[in-house]
Amino acid sequence: MLDTSFLLFAEKVSQTDKKVLIALLIIVLVIIILFGYLQKLVGYIMYIQGHQIDTMMYNIMRTRVITEDQKRLFGKEARRKSRIYFVKKAWPYFIGMACVVAALLIYAAVKQDMGMKFFSKAMYDMSFTLDWPTTKFFGMTLPNDWPTLTKASDFSFNGDKYFSLAMLILFIIFALGFLIHCQALLSRELRILQLQRTLFKKDLNKIDNNHI
């Protein structure tokens, strides 16, 4: 019964629909694989970032400035060090973003274009447009072939265009640097919580025979 239903379904599906279905399955499979590798990469980076707190707190714990009974003090000191490190590393990127925004506003004021239409036009000129041929697939409109280029990017020299491009690239670089340090701050916070659970856990295995 199931085999018969499947054969009837296969007969109804056109050759184009079959191609679209195969393409969708491949795309979904690729997305799942890429997501898995990306998740592993982010986890590894956060692991390295989080263990920076071990280096920051090592001497304090080794010299027993903070003892095993001072869980709250450990968290307070670790977070203080983590925030200082964040400010030290992240502020140049924040200042960089602020300088890019200030440069754009000054340029717009000089051009008497506070709506920043010059920036929108520059981005449009340097962009490209693709026309995707589509087909209907179970009521959905999906691409069924490679696209054709309907508008090519225009990189001819223009002051507005290249100034806007330079500012955009700089802002992206500074923003990525800032976000990486924000992620590092979160990673260290997670590591602090983990250390508070493990270092200050009441565990008889930590007590040697001399203390019994």
pLDDT, one tens digit per residue, over 52-106 is 888 888 788 777 777 666 677 888 888 999 999 999 999 999 999 999 999 999 9
- Give one word for 82, left, alpha or beta, with left for phi > 0 and alpha for psi -120 to 50: alpha
Contact 146, 170 (CB under 8 A): no
Question: Which bin fits 64, alpha (ψ -120 to 50), beta or left (φ > 0)?
Answer: left
Q: What is the CB neighbour count within 10 angstroms for residue 56?
A: 18
Report CA-CA distances (Å) from 33 to 45, 53, 158.
Answer: 19, 32, 42
The residues spanned by each domain of the chain are 2-203
Q: How far is CA 1 from CA 5, 10, 12, 64, in A?
A: 6, 14, 17, 74
How, if at all, do strands 148-151 and 129-131 pair?
Answer: antiparallel
Is there a contact between 183 and 47 (Cβ–Cβ < 8 Å)?
no
Confidence (pLDDT) at 54: 86
Given a contact cutoff of 8 angstroms between Cβ atoms, the answer to whether 78 and 55 are in contact is no
pTM recorded for the entire structure: 0.72
Question: Two tokens at 23?
Answer: 């393409």
Q: What gap in Å lies between CA 99 and CA 166, rounded to an integer? A: 13
Q: Say whether 143 sits in a helix, a strand or coil.
A: strand
Which residue ranges in the chain fall short of pLDDT 50?
1-2, 210-212
Contact 57, 77 (CB under 8 A): yes
